[in-house]
Amino acid sequence: MMSGKKDGRVTAAVLIIGDEILSGRTQDTNLRDIAKYLGVHGVDLAEARTVPDVHEEIIAALNALRARYDYVLTTGGIGPTHDDITADAVAAAFGVELYEHPEIIEQIEARIRSRPGVEMNAAMRRMARVPVGGALVRSAVAAPPGFTIGNVFVLAGVPTIMRAMLEDVGHRLRGGAVTVSRTVRVEGSGESVIAAPLEAVARAHPAMSLGSYPFFDAGVYGSNLVLRGRDPDELAATIIELVAALKSAGIETVREMDAP
């Protein structure tokens, strides 16, 4: 079983909150952005869950995830409308009350001051609610902040706002060893011929993660072999062995750097 504490790994889970994802209306992209961001900070994303805008569902998933992993990042449900219930659910999960954070109220007041005829209303005040004991997660965009409480970070669902909030999360994470990864690309050979040499190299390097991700694009088929690990030297050695093993099996490869 995977554990937050095993061999120095620092782990996180993502909890995506929103009917719009489960109905298929909206394509989630936050999971991938968060995964990459955490990777850079040496934190492994170990699990993700998507739940509907239902109070008890959010609480149950949040409690399961925050007990098991070092960090939980939630997305969605912190806007001003009646279906934005994330703050209520997070407060309930931690057994604390919500209060209107004066800094958020001030921020909203400053924004509406520039819009004649617009007055503070209940919906705007809703976005200022933060659980007692929580701290703000600020962003550079013109949107109310998210918040953090315990090991949980509560972020917006709108991708541009979520990404801006992430920048105020990284410095609070206790990072593990950063994972390095490289890709070896095989074209014109299927997974069924790659499998044996790949498995032999995987067995010889149990500390490395070797994955095979087949593609079929514009008439070209093949597989991207992704090597991932903590030790850059072992990663480099593993790549050399893998390319040699594939060559012995008559398979030509292209080495690629991964995007950072």
Question: Min. distance of Cβ 1 from a copy of itself in angstroms?
Answer: 5
By rule CB under 8 A, what string of x and - marks binding of each residue 122-141 to a copy of itself? xxx-xx--------------
According to CB under 8 A, which residues from 208 to 227 bind a copy of itself?
209-214, 216, 226
Maximum pairwise Cα distance, the chain? 75
> Which residue, 34 or 152, has its beta carbon nearer to a copy of itself?
34
6: burial class by Cβ within 10 Å (0-12, 13-18, 19+)? exposed
Residue 4 is a binding residue for a copy of itself (CB under 8 A): no
According to CB under 8 A, which residues from 101 to 120 bind a copy of itself?
118
Residue holding tokens 């819009």?
115
Of 186, 240, 249, nearest to 215 (Cα)? 186
Give the Cβ contact number of residue 151 at 10 Å: 16
**Which of 36, 172, 174, 247 touches a copy of itself (CB under 8 A)?**
36
Residue 35 is a binding residue for a copy of itself (CB under 8 A): yes
**Which of 109, 133, 140, 160 touches a copy of itself (CB under 8 A)?**
160
**Rounded to an integer, what distance in angstroms lies between the CA atom of residue 85 and that of residue 223?**
42
**Rounded to an integer, what distance in angstroms lies between the CA atom of residue 242 and that of residue 170?**
34
Give the Cβ contact number of residue 7 at 10 Å: 9
By rule CB under 8 A, what string of x and - marks binding of each residue 168-207 to a copy of itself? -----------x-x---------xxxxxx-xx--x-----
